[in-house]
Structure 1
Amino acid sequence: MASKAAAAAAAAANAAAKGAAEGYQYPWREKLAKYKSELTKGVWGYWELGAWKPLALSARKRARLRKEVLLAGENWPYDPPKKEMRNKRKGHKCDRVAAEKRATTAELMKKMPEMLLDYKKRRWEKKMQEEEGKS
């Protein structure tokens, strides 16, 4: 029994020495080739015939494979596209709306004398049309 354990330990040591000599790494190239079709379907899963299907590759294994590829200096094209950052400031909507209302009111107050003159002119024209219609 002890001889089996010793033989297994010796075999493991030989394999480790051989792997270190050859520069053996985590076999990410084979895994990438194996799961390429699965990785192109999305990050979390995909819809198929109206049903959501998770990837056959777990998130932990996917993350480990991604990490190995990036550490090897290769490109990882399977990440989802990044969204643009929000440039709107947070705050209460009522404050924003009130500020907009104040701004539009100020613009309308600048136009007020013209608007009043137009209104008086329209009223006068309407009055004149009514008088012409009566006579």
Structure 2
Amino acid sequence: MDRALVTALQRDGRTPNNELARIVGIAPSTCVARVRSLRERGVVRGVHADVDPVALGLSIQAMIAVSLRSDSRAGIGEFAAIVARRPFVVNVFYVSGTYDHLLHVAARGSDALREIVNELSSMPQVSGTETHLIFDHLAGRPQA
């Protein structure tokens, strides 16, 4: 039942409770309780609007791979928290491999993207960056 609720919410997080209950085949009161439980357990972390960055004037998106200096590795979580608050950051990923983080960023144009890269590169924790432009993006939905 929880999987069916999650699947329905992934399709449309604004689905009214009565409709959700009908889709899953449960009573509306049961549905409210199950969705509340999913939120409390952190299964459903939130419902958000998927806004097109271009509509906001952010015509360039990129993934910026960031390597931290070896003496900054103890502050990996702190670095992620700092950059996540930057207005140009869409997502922060802590990853394995050559780099420590991948930052999904959005900018108004190439000059703004260059400023972002320069800002990140000048941070004392950062030893290097590598920028990859995003030409297109399709969101997936993980299935349980």
TM-score scaled by length of structure 2: 0.21
More strand by share: 2
- Structure having the higher Rg: 1
More helix by share: 1
TM-score scaled by length of structure 1: 0.21
